[in-house]
Amino acid sequence: MDSTVLWIFTIAGSALTLLCLYGAFKADRKLFLSGLCYFSLLPIIGESMGYNADKASVHIIVVLVFIAQMVLTFPNKNEYGADNTAAMKLAGKIILAVLIFNIGGIIYIFCLHAGVPRRFGCFHIAQSLALIYLIFKRMSGKGPLWVKQ
């Protein structure tokens, strides 16, 4: 990948990760989900650009994982409260799945030496920390108290 594309991915990844973090800490569901959802496009595009026949299965798996993350985190206008127990349990499972996807991204970048610049792994670390923050906030019974849109 040439340096211009890397800088574009770095700037876009930084902006979307900051949007995700801001949404998590300000309890704004739409901003949080937008940051996660649109960030998922970056690995999809990057893996598609780096596709080669030698590692085709790896590229396809990464693309599919981030398509799943994009679908799970697509920001919509559906709102539910603590009175809807099914939605609350489903939301817990979705946040856990997205956390596992991002931890997988961290392992893929830092441990498997996939040839992806480490700065992209830092984005996954920041997003994972935001997800862990929301999990602890939810487990403590304080939230996440999403701001109504």
pLDDT in tens, 65-120: 999 999 999 988 777 666 777 877 888 888 899 999 999 999 989 998 778 889 99
Tokens read off for 18: 């900051």
- Indicate whether 145 pLDDT > 60: no
Q: What is the DSSP letter of 17?
A: H
Q: Is residue 105, in this structure, part of any structural domain at all?
A: yes
- Indicate whether 146 pLDDT > 70: no
Q: Is residue 118, in this structure, part of any structural domain at all?
A: yes
For 136-143, the CB contacts below 8 A with 24+ separation are: 138/92, 143/27
As for how many domains the chain has, the answer is 1
- Indicate whether 8 pLDDT > 80: yes
Q: Is residue 81, in this structure, part of any structural domain at all?
A: no
Rounded to the nearest 10 degrees, the angle between the axes of helix 41-49 and helix 118-139 is 150
pLDDT digits (tens, 9 = 90+) for 16-36: 999 999 999 988 889 999 999
What span, in angstroms and rounded, lies between the C-alpha atoms of 70 and 18? 17
Q: Is residue 33, in this structure, part of any structural domain at all?
A: yes
What range defines the domain where residue 121 resides? 3-74+86-139
